[in-house]
Amino acid sequence: MIEPPPWFAKGLPHVWLPYAQMKTTPPPLAAVATQGSRIKLADGRELVDGIASWWTACHGYNHPHIAQAVRRQLEAMPHVMFGGLVHEQALTLARRLAQLAPGGLNRVFFTDSGSVAVEVAMKMAVQLHLNRGERGRVKFLSFRGGYHGDTFACMSVCDPDEGMHAAFAGVVPAQVVVDLPRDEESEKAFETALAAHEGELAAILAEPLVQGAGGMIFHDAEVLRRLRRAADSIGVPLILDEIFTGFGRTGTMFACEAAGVVPDILTLSKALTGGTLPLAATIATGEVFDAFWSDDPAHALMHGPTFMGNALACAAANASLDLFEREPRLDQVAHVSALLARGLEPCRDLKGVVDVRAMGAIGVVELEKISDLAGLKRRFVERGVFVRPFGRIVYLTPAFTISDDELATLTQAIVAALAEKG
Ligand code: PMP
């Protein structure tokens, strides 16, 4: 085994890692380079990447078109504050996103992370009612299995038990969190919750088609149409969080398109820059925006992150949109989808496997439980792949450009590692 580089041993005692019990977590892997669907480690090993860095690197790593756009922007102007100044990359991106997003979603507010994009969406929803003179609409109806980020408002709308934030139950505001209305029983509970909280709800908030970090749980398009009708019936906006599902992950550019549902507010991040730089967007319809359009300064949306509309990130996002226009990404997603379904199918016969499913470029093996998560992660690395199971889930969300061979390496590693467990 090659010794880790000096920066690893010297720096590790000073860094605090995500979602980790620092005392017991196994040491992380030292990455030194990426290319396509590969991650090169400091010790010379190369892993096929099954996660695309939390679902961001949809074109694979180091795409030359994105790299060139960022390099060009870096020379001209890496960043200027968005207060009082605008620039070509941000305005071009806003226009392109408005064109790309379904229906009347045409006003883009840029932020720098998914959580903040959701915070902004929630703030928009609350203030929309205040600006219209309706007080008391301050709560959100969200769903079990949902995940919307780790900041305080976001934590409140995540699944209260599964969402990693149970310890904060007494700190975050209590929201109305119910099951998605997917059958008779949950439909009844949904209707009851709607009726009980109708007057105090600011918005309904959901991840469309796939609840990602909450467990890669799929639901039908009909569920989204039900949410649209519910939001309309009580006169509140429907917020769809497409931070995971947006940009082709579920098979269409946006998951809501598959259901023919247009939200009032849409949140995007992750694959927005093709995974190269942090950027997020909260996109509102003209109708939502109109509630803020006023001679009264108090009706303005009071939000403005320092790195809002960062020029490098916007350049990366514009280049990523070029790639969606020029290259057959959605066809590639359909191809990856078929290979994921076929490649993971043998898992169905393994002991402890509850379900195997695929939608778009998402492949999921759901287990009764994973008793040795660290051991399973290690076995994946030993097989030359980077896969990051969580909860009871082993999943793949590869780059859409991954080769058939690389994808086979990933699915075979999962089948073998789960079979080995016995
Ligand atoms: N919403 C969804 C649906 C997500 O998947 C995530 C990130 N996993 C977030 C919000 C939060 O994004 P970020 O980690 O960039 O704050």
CA distance 107 to 95: 9
Q: Residue 135 carries which side chain, given as an amino acid letter?
A: R
β strands within 214-368, DSSP E:
217-218, 238-241, 265-268, 280-285, 353-359, 362-367
What's the pLDDT score for residue 163? Answer: 63
Nearest CA to ligand 1 atom 14: 114
Q: For residue 182, what is the DSSP state?
A: -
pLDDT exceeds 80 at position 267? yes
Nearest to 86, CA basis, from 309, 251, 352: 309
What's the pLDDT score for residue 167? Answer: 83
Structure confidence by residue, pLDDT tens digits, 168-180: 878 899 999 999 9
- Give the number of other CB atoms < 10 A from CB of residue 176: 17
What is the mean predicted confidence (pLDDT) over 135-164?
Answer: 93
SS3 content of the chain, % helix, strand, coil (to 5): 40, 20, 40
Superfamily (CATH H level) for 6-59+328-421: Aspartate Aminotransferase, domain 1 (3.90.1150.10)
| Catalytic residue (choose from 159, 241, 377, 395) | 241
What's the pLDDT score for residue 170? Answer: 84
Structure confidence by residue, pLDDT tens digits, 314-349: 999 999 999 999 999 999 999 999 999 999 999 999
- Quote the Cα angle for 313-317-321, to 5°: 170
Q: Do strands 210-211 and 238-241 pair parallel, antiparallel, or not at all (unpaired)?
A: unpaired
- Give the number of other CB atoms < 10 A from CB of residue 294: 11
Q: Is 41 helix (H, G, I), strand (E, B) or coil?
A: strand
Distance in angstroms between the alpha carbons of the first and the last residue of the chain: 28
- Give the number of other CB atoms < 10 A from CB of residue 257: 18
Cα(3) to centroid(ligand 1), Å: 34
Q: Residue 347 carries which side chain, given as an amino acid letter?
A: C
Segments in 101-251 forming alpha helices (H): 114-131, 152-157, 184-197, 221-234
pLDDT exceeds 70 at position 122? yes
Burial class (CB in 10 A: 0-12, 13-18, 19+), 13: exposed
- Give the number of other CB atoms < 10 A from CB of residue 132: 12
For ligand 1, say whether the CB of 55 is within 6 Å of any of its atoms: no
Tokens 């950027």 belong to 279
290 annotated active-site: no
Give the confidence band of 23 by pLDDT, cuts at 50, 70, 90: very high
pLDDT exceeds 80 at position 166? no
Cα(114) to centroid(ligand 1), Å: 5
Write b or e for each residue in 135-163: b if 16 or more Cβ atoms lie within 10 A of its Cβ, otherwise e: eebebbbbbbbbbbbbeebbbbbbbbebb
Determine the CATH number of domain 64-326. Answer: 3.40.640.10
Quick check: 150 and 117 in contact, CB under 8 A? Answer: no
What does the radius of gyration of the chain's CA atoms come to, in whole angstroms? 22
Cα(166) to centroid(ligand 1), Å: 17
pLDDT exceeds 60 at position 422? no
Nearest CA to ligand 1 atom 13: 114
pLDDT exceeds 90 at position 47? yes
Mutate to test the pocket of ligand 1, among 54, 156, 269 (most ligand atoms within 8 A of CB): 269
Q: Tell me where in the chain the CATH 3.40.640.10 domain(s) lie.
A: 64-326
CA distance 142 to 176: 6
Segments in 77-133 forming alpha helices (H): 88-100, 114-131
For ligand 1, say whether the CB of 212 is within 6 Å of any of its atoms: yes
Assigned token pair, 180: 């998605």
Structure confidence by residue, pLDDT tens digits, 397-411: 999 999 999 999 999
147 annotated active-site: yes
61 annotated active-site: no
pLDDT exceeds 90 at position 238? yes
Write down the mean pLDDT value for the chain: 96
Tokens 């920066």 belong to 7
Query: Which residues on adjacent β-strands are paired with residue 366?
Result: 355, 393
Q: Tell me where in the chain the CATH 3.90.1150.10 domain(s) lie.
A: 6-59+328-421
For 25, residues 6+ apart whose C-beta sits below 8 A from its C-beta are 17, 374
What is the mean predicted confidence (pLDDT) over 138-149?
Answer: 97
| Catalytic residue (choose from 61, 147, 159, 395) | 147
Q: Residue 127 carries which side chain, given as an amino acid letter?
A: Q
CA distance 215 to 232: 28
Which atom of ligand 1 is least distant from the CA of 115?
16
241 annotated active-site: yes
Structure confidence by residue, pLDDT tens digits, 52-105: 999 999 999 999 999 999 999 999 999 999 999 999 999 999 999 999 999 999
For ligand 1, say whether the CB of 142 is within 6 Å of any of its atoms: no
Q: In angstroms, what CA-CA distances link 135 with 51, 132, 193, 355?
A: 43, 9, 20, 45
Cα(113) to centroid(ligand 1), Å: 8
Q: Is 326 helix (H, G, I), strand (E, B) or coil?
A: helix
pLDDT exceeding 70 applies to what percent of the chain? Answer: 99
Give the confidence band of 4 by pLDDT, cuts at 50, 70, 90: confident
Q: Residues, the chain, total?
A: 422
Q: Is 214 helix (H, G, I), strand (E, B) or coil?
A: coil
Q: How far is CA 68 from the centre of its chain?
A: 25
**Packing angle, helices 88-100 and 311-326, rounded to 10:** 40
